[in-house]
Amino acid sequence: MVYLIAAACAVGVVLVAGRLVRRGRDDGEPDGPTVGHAGSMISAMFLLAFAVAIVVPWAATDSARLNTYTEAQAITEAYWSAERLPAASRDQARTGLLDYARFVRDEEWREMAEGRLSPGGWTRLDAVRRQVIALPVPDDDEIKDARTTFLGQVTAISAARHQRAMDARTTPPAGLLIITVATGLLVVALPYLAGARPRGMALVPLALMAGLLAIGIYLALDITHTFTGGLGVRPDAFTGAITEIQRISGGP
């Protein structure tokens, strides 16, 4: 509402100025100074909005991609840490970690496209944590240290998962995309709004510009969500973690 009020005030200033200013010559030509000034400013506004609409999601996507590798690495390190646990607890913990990684890659990733994480992921991760917490504490300092190390790695997984939940909900402001689309349309329509009627070869550069603007606007809309679209983050990190776990265990 504040933005709409500001825009209305700006339009009002132009109308009042048109009534009050009497000096100077009339300007009704498509290539006159008024159209030239408005065209340059609209183009500048489009470029500014377009740059922000591209750079902000791109940076967020890079950060989210890095975080998925952090989480996957923590899963691998936790799998290694479980080696020092008693045999029964070790096998349970490792099975739980592998199940968690597969669940994130195969099932949860689809839900992240809608901006949320699946409760099943938390359930699996909490189950692994509870199994090790419930492990009887013997007098063996090595086992105590192994349990502490393993729980530290699970904490790192949980922290990265919380960050991934935030990344899944991250989108640019809706107003920014609206401004990008609106100014892009104005850039294309400005010659017609100014009274020009492009004909013949003059339509070629106008059509090329419109096509490129459409591609740019589509790109801005396509990368608004971190885990969908052509530039979205893929579950490659978890695929790599599963492959590493299989290598460590020597099984499928």
3-state secondary structure 126-151: HHHHHHHHCCCCCCCHHHHHHHHHHH
225 and 92 Cβ atoms separated by less than 8 Å: no
**Tokens 């530290």 appear where?**
152
In a domain, 109, yes or no: yes
* 149: containing domain: 72-171+238-252
In a domain, 40, yes or no: no
In a domain, 96, yes or no: yes
- How many structural domains are present in the chain? 1
DSSP 8-state symbol, 229: S
In a domain, 17, yes or no: no
In a domain, 221, yes or no: no
Provide the residue-wise pLDDT of the chain in tens; the chain has 252 residues.
665 675 566 556 555 655 555 555 554 555 556 666 677 777 888 888 888 888 888 888 899 999 999 999 999 999 998 888 888 888 899 999 999 999 999 999 988 888 889 999 999 999 999 988 887 766 667 878 888 898 999 999 999 999 999 988 888 777 788 888 888 888 888 777 777 777 777 778 878 888 888 888 888 888 888 888 777 889 999 999 999 999 887 755
In a domain, 98, yes or no: yes
Dihedral sign for Cα 190, 195, 201, 203, please.
Answer: positive
Upper half-sphere CA count for residue 116 (Cβ side, 13 Å): 4
What's residue 190's pLDDT?
78
In a domain, 196, yes or no: no
